[in-house]
A and B are shown apart, each in its own frame.
Chain A
Amino acid sequence: MSVCGNGGDLRQVDLRAEFASAGIGEILDRLDRELIGLVPVKTRIREIASLLLVERVREKYSLSSGPPTLHMSFTGNPGTGKTTVALRMAGILHKLGFVRRGHVVSVTRDDLVGQYIGHTAPKTKEILKRAMGGVLFIDEAYYLFRPENERDYGQEAIEILLQVMENQREDLVVILAGYADRMDKFFSSNPGIRSRIAHHIDFPDYTDPELLKIAEILLSQQNYHLSDAGRTALIEYIGIRRTQPYFSNARSIRNALDRARLRQANRILETGGVLTLDALSTIDGEDIRASRVFKDALQIRAEL
């Protein structure tokens, strides 16, 4: 019996209660808190989470048809947090019940592609079996396809992957990651993959203040902190490092901090004697300024 004139279903659902019961609010908030910057990525993940929540409610009232396509592609420069976000994504999908276990299997070309004929298919299938019920994260996915070598076994891996991505959508979610320009080339030569990926997310580079904040978080996780001179030095360091080759965002910063800790340890050992616990965990300006980055910068300036 329909009460409404146009025959619409007037039963009510409480989305807010659904949201709370799924427990994804907490994961999304943690994502906001712990990941610096990446605003477009966070917005996109929020959108996907909302979509999945609505999809789940629709499924409860049998309004949905089949499992949604959840395969994603993460593109962005090195060190922009693609792997970290993939791990979080698995958590979100698990909470919403779109993957059963919520683990992440992280692979590269070597794990999927074999070395001789007949080696690739079992290898790829093995990995796929291991990823069932969770997320398969393929880092630097463009290496799978090598157009310059027509006998390359990568194509075989791609075909098996495609088949599973299509037929076992409810069993696993595939996330491809890589640098933007190369992924574009990869997708244009493999249109089958492109059309099977629902969400393309682009990771922007971090700004200088964001990198500083990341550095501070990294240090506080290891119970270190920056002195004022250290902070000024690090701000300068970030500005110079960005202009130099092989800059890879947060990863460069993490490596720089590791080396700064090395120099700090050496410095306090050499000064020797008794020192405060505070000095034991303070990164000072000179620990950072001793970096090769500053010397190279000086040299370049001198050459100019």
Chain B
Amino acid sequence: MRVTQGCFSFLPDLTDAQITAQVQYCLDNGWAVNLEFTDDPHPRNTFWEMWGQPMFDLKDAAGIMAELAACRSALGEKYIRLTGFDSTHGWESVKISFLVNRPKSEEGYQLLRQEGAGRRIRYTTRPYATDLPQGRRYR
């Protein structure tokens, strides 16, 4: 099942040229662009790990694209996303975030039903990937 989260996720995966254009848009707005990765694709998982340090004060997308290439060659089977952080006072938050890399096969999610008191049923989802401990998923 194809994971959809962040911007552009219902479009076909962005090409490198399209990613470059988006990164340049972020930089032109003065946002710091960061790379993050994870192997737990649950939508509530907000704690992705950072690839390197946040990249402040860049002018051109080439530097970030080089980092992305390095990140992909090391973690090509993980989810990688790119975020643009606006440090302006009062905002101080991520303004754009989109996936730039995904594993070849995405197993998707299991639907869990919990039977409660009476006839109540609670639903929840769980990624199949998290059956394995961290670091052994998506290999």
Contact = CB atoms under 8 A, between A and B. Distances in A.
Interface of A: 100-101, 103, 122, 126, 128-130, 132-134, 168, 171-172
Contact of B59 (A122, A128, A132): A132
B27 to A, nearest CB: 9
Contacts of A130: 57-59, 63
A286 B88 CA distance: 51
B64 interface: yes
Contacts of A168: 62, 66
B59 A134 contact: yes
10 contacts: A100-B60, A101-B60, A103-B59, A129-B64, A132-B59, A132-B60, A133-B59, A133-B62, A168-B62, A171-B60
Interface string B34-65: 00000000000000000011010111111110
Contacts of B66: 129, 132, 168
B107 interface: no
A12 B86 CA distance: 50
Contacts of A100: 60, 62
B67 interface: yes
A218 B55 CA distance: 38
B68 to A, nearest CB: 12
A94 to B, nearest CB: 11
Contact of B55 (A103, A129, A171, A172): A129
Contacts of B67: 129
A134 B63 CA distance: 11
Contact of A133 (B52, B53, B57, B60): B60
Of the four ranges (under 10, 10 to 19, 20 to 34, 35 or more), the interface on chain B belongs to: 10 to 19
Contacts of B52: 122
B63 A128 contact: yes
B21 to A, nearest CB: 13
Given A132-B60, A132-B62, A171-B62, 9 more contacts: A100-B62, A101-B59, A103-B59, A122-B52, A129-B55, A129-B64, A130-B59, A133-B61, A171-B60
A134 B60 contact: yes
A215 to B, nearest CB: 35
Contacts of B61: 132-133
Contacts of B53: 122, 126
Contacts of A101: 59-60
Contacts of B62: 100, 132-133, 168, 171-172
Contacts of A132: 58-63, 66
A132 B68 CA distance: 15
A155 B110 CA distance: 53
Nearest to B64: A129
Contacts of B55: 129
- Most A CB within 10 A of own CB, among B57, B63, B67: B63
A2 B57 CA distance: 53
A126 B56 CA distance: 10
Nearest to A172: B62
A101 B57 CA distance: 13
- Most A CB within 10 A of own CB, among B53, B58, B61, B67: B58
A168 B67 CA distance: 13
A171 B24 CA distance: 14
Nearest to B57: A130
A151 B63 CA distance: 29
B64 to A, nearest CB: 7
B22 to A, nearest CB: 16
Contacts of A103: 59
